[in-house]
Amino acid sequence: MAIKICGTGSYLPAHRVTNDDLSKIMDTSDEWIRSRTGIESRHLVTDETTSSMSVEAAKNAMEQANVSAEEIDLIIAATISQDYVIPTLACEVQRELGAKKAVAFDIGAACSGFLFALNTAYSYLKSGQYQTALILGAETLSKMMDWEDRSTCVLFGDGAGAAIVRNQKEKGGIGIESLLQGSDGAKGMVLACKGRPVQNPYVETKEQRMSYVTMDGQEVYKFAVRTVPKAVKSAVEKAGLSLDEIDYFVLHQANIRIIESVAKHLHQPMEKFPTNLQECGNISAASVPILLDNINRKGLLKKGDRIVLAGFGAGLTWGAVVLTW
């Protein structure tokens, strides 16, 4: 039995916003953003929605995997910025694709969301309950930003990534080799966004400003550079491999300094750490699947390559997956 990623897809909004564009509407500069984060631009929705981007990414992954909507029996969407509280993003995508027999639901684990969704799908597929899963990471983070908070809003972008995961049921096949995930709710408030306020006849309603994402950047940075190397090492060891045997480390694209620090801690060259944050910024749950699709479609991935996927973010949460392509 081999549970494998058989196809990838992604979608970025058409509207590209550079650092120079942002400098015209707020007190910032290309040098300030680039030197601290590595980010040069991001894509922001205008006409697109979280669900429309997800559908396009899903179609791309399905085409590559040669999978029809009728074959999909599980859809898991990782997001914190769905279009509706209800119905879920996964159900919206199910409707648009016509995947009538699929079970569809969302997972909320922020920047680790795609890894949590992949872990969940793996368990379902391994049990034999389902055979073909569509995994999504999709975000419209621009609607959750305070565009007067220059320290935070410049970091994030919008987009969607997708993967088709199948139980191939082939002897000796290699796919996903190990999975790891973790949480630390005690430090959750370092990256937060409040939900809707209580409004009922028995509560005095005070006029409240809409809540936006708040972040303690230093604490998030310290968490990431401390936790991600440990998670990656543990996942690789669990797979019975060494770090030197890994061909690519596909990390959540939050900050180039974090990625460089992880590479240094793991004693691995930066050539093994592909990046797209320069173009996309941080897209939370969509970050890892979009980057995976980027390097896949560039032809960088060869059969037999060993890859680590790793995400980290709000919750606080983290996850890692080791797989053979």
Compute φ and ψ for 261, nearest 5 degrees: -65, -40
β partners of residue 16: 43
Q: How far is CA 82 from the centre of its chain?
A: 14
On the 0-12 / 13-18 / 19+ scale of CB atoms within 10 A, 25 is exposed
- Amino acid identity of 90? A
Q: 3-state class of 232 per DSSP?
A: helix
Query: What distance in Å separates the CA atoms of residue 167 and residue 176, rounded to the nearest whole number?
Result: 10
Q: Which long-range contacts link 266-270 to residues 24+ away (Cβ below 8 Å)? A: 266/229, 266/232, 266/233, 267/243, 268/243, 268/244
Q: State the catalytic residue, choosing from 255, 276, 282, 294.
A: 282
Residue-wise over 252-266: b if at least 16 C-beta within 10 A, else e? bbbbbebbebbbeeb
Q: State the catalytic residue, choosing from 119, 252, 276, 296.
A: 252
Strands 306-313 and 214-215: unpaired
Peptide bond into 309 cis (omega under 30): no
Q: State the catalytic residue, choosing from 43, 60, 91, 111.
A: 111
Angle 269-291-79 from CA coordinates, rounded to 5°: 130
Query: What distance in Å separates the CA atoms of residue 111 and residue 181, rounded to the nearest whole number?
Result: 12
Q: CB neighbours of 67 closer than 8 A, spacing ≥ 6? A: 6, 7, 132, 164, 166
On the 0-12 / 13-18 / 19+ scale of CB atoms within 10 A, 183 is middle
Contact between 254 and 285 (Cβ < 8 Å): no
Known catalytic membership, residue 111: yes
Angle 207-209-211 from CA coordinates, rounded to 5°: 135
Residues noted as catalytic:
111, 252, 282
